Amino acid sequence: MDNRLVGMPMDGWMIIGMALIMLGVPLACWGALPRNRVGHANSAGTSYEAPDTTPLNRWHAGVLLVLTVGLVIDVMKPATLGFVLPGLTQEYGIERSTAALLPFIALTGTTVGSFLWGWLADVYGRRVSILLSTILFASTAICGAMPLFAWNLVMCFLMGVSAGGMLPVVYTLLAEVMPPRHRSWVLVLVGGTGLIGGYLAASAAAHAFEPLYGWRVLWLQGFPSALLLLALARLIPESPRFLAEQGREVELEQMQERFGILPRPRVAAPQDAPLAHDRHKGLTAALTIAALAWSFVNFGLLLWLPTDLQARGYSSELASGILASSALLALPTIAVAAWLYARWSSKGTLVGTVVLTLAGLVGALLPAATLSWPPLLVGVIAMLIVGTNGMIAVLLPYTAENYPLGVRGRATGLVAASSKFGGVAVQGFALVGLIPTLGGAALALLVPMGASAVLIAWAGRETRGRSLRELEA
């Protein structure tokens, strides 16, 4: 039947399976929650941190591996939306404006999920939040088997909620378990690799599998990938401060042995603390607006890029191949961004990625006849992918380094949610038929992206080489 499920009735086995999912997910979440919960004080400092001399070992490597896999899975879902839409629109026989409900609902879910899981990470712990989001993500992969478009919307909202929580929690946990000397480059390298890897995985899967099995396979692949992450869950540690407040001394001693984390005295607050507090509020505004500007580029322009390329006469296979090639060009840039972030300037690197995205937007404004030359088109797309992925790879680590332990998950979740909210707004425009083209979207996004660069340069502070204890003070 060529994987066409539209109009097929749900039989008894499918209804039973969905009922079991509705029963099993809450039970699994209840079982994963800690028995005792102790809230963090807002003024809590980082009382456990590895010394600068602590080398990276196999336990650090295991954490980096599993969290990178988690980020790839997290990014792959929203990146897949653009590849799903053409086939979905054709199978259900709906208008493009109606099909825009899918990314609108899914991105709304990721926005809600970023707030939700960031809050859960501060209340119940970082590791638990990762496990819960993965359980939900695995169960919602069933949306690839839904015969009705309405059921796709429901399940993809829940899938978005589950996927949206991975980004803020991963950066928060990495900031707390990595030695200060390695923290900066590890955060950017893992984040950038996961982000680029997620987009590459989505485009490569579309290029390899969609012509043979249809668009539904891009949703169904979420199930085995989530099971892989759950299989690696033993390598995910918990925040040492959270373990201390829970009184879980055995696990805390294990953390000290494996990761070299020791009790560290707090750094006294400076005498100009009120001024620093006001500046911190300005930083929150700057990071939020920067995340919003990024989301309009990433979801408002890149999400519709495959459809735009096909409208220009490129086949779906060629369009997916161009995006995959551009993502490959972006991979070496992440290593450069990690080096600059750790060795040169964290704030300067963030501003630099914004400027690179601006260059890609300017290139997208070139005449259509000029952009029809494939090498130039690949170059423009590469700048957009490198800039946007580099920007988000630096933005969230930078956020995690700037906030105290008790609100770090929520603050990073706020910025992560802002990085999704622009996509929701853009898809809202699409629902009324305002689907952006490459050039039109680039023209509209020049001003907010430029403004974000100015705001970060004005309100940001340097975090390179500074302890989390010092930054929290």
According to DSSP, the β-strands at 262-263 and 48-49 are antiparallel
**pLDDT confidence bin for 186, thresholds 50/70/90:** confident
pLDDT at 291 over 60: yes
Give residue 304's pLDDT: 64
Give residue 16's pLDDT: 92
The reported pTM is 0.78
Using alpha carbons, select from 430, 431, 424, 2 the residue that is nearest to residue 216: 2
Q: What is the DSSP string of 8-42?
A: PPP-HHHHHHHHHHHHHHHHHHHHHS-SS--PPPT
Contact call for residues 435 and 112 (beta carbons, < 8 A): no
Question: What is the maximum alpha-carbon separation in the chain?
Answer: 72
Beta bridge partners of 263: 48
Mean pLDDT, residues 6-29: 87
Contact call for residues 97 and 433 (beta carbons, < 8 A): yes
Class of domain 58-262+272-472: mainly alpha
pLDDT at 222 over 70: yes
Give residue 438's pLDDT: 67
Give residue 180's pLDDT: 83
Residue at token pair 């709304």: 108
pLDDT digits (tens, 9 = 90+) for 94-113: 887 788 788 888 888 988 98
pLDDT at 55 over 80: yes
Residue 76 identity: M
**pLDDT confidence bin for 303, thresholds 50/70/90:** low
Domain ranges of the chain: 58-262+272-472
Rounded Cα–Cα distance for residues 194 and 396 (Å): 13
Mean pLDDT, residues 415-426: 84
Give residue 37's pLDDT: 56
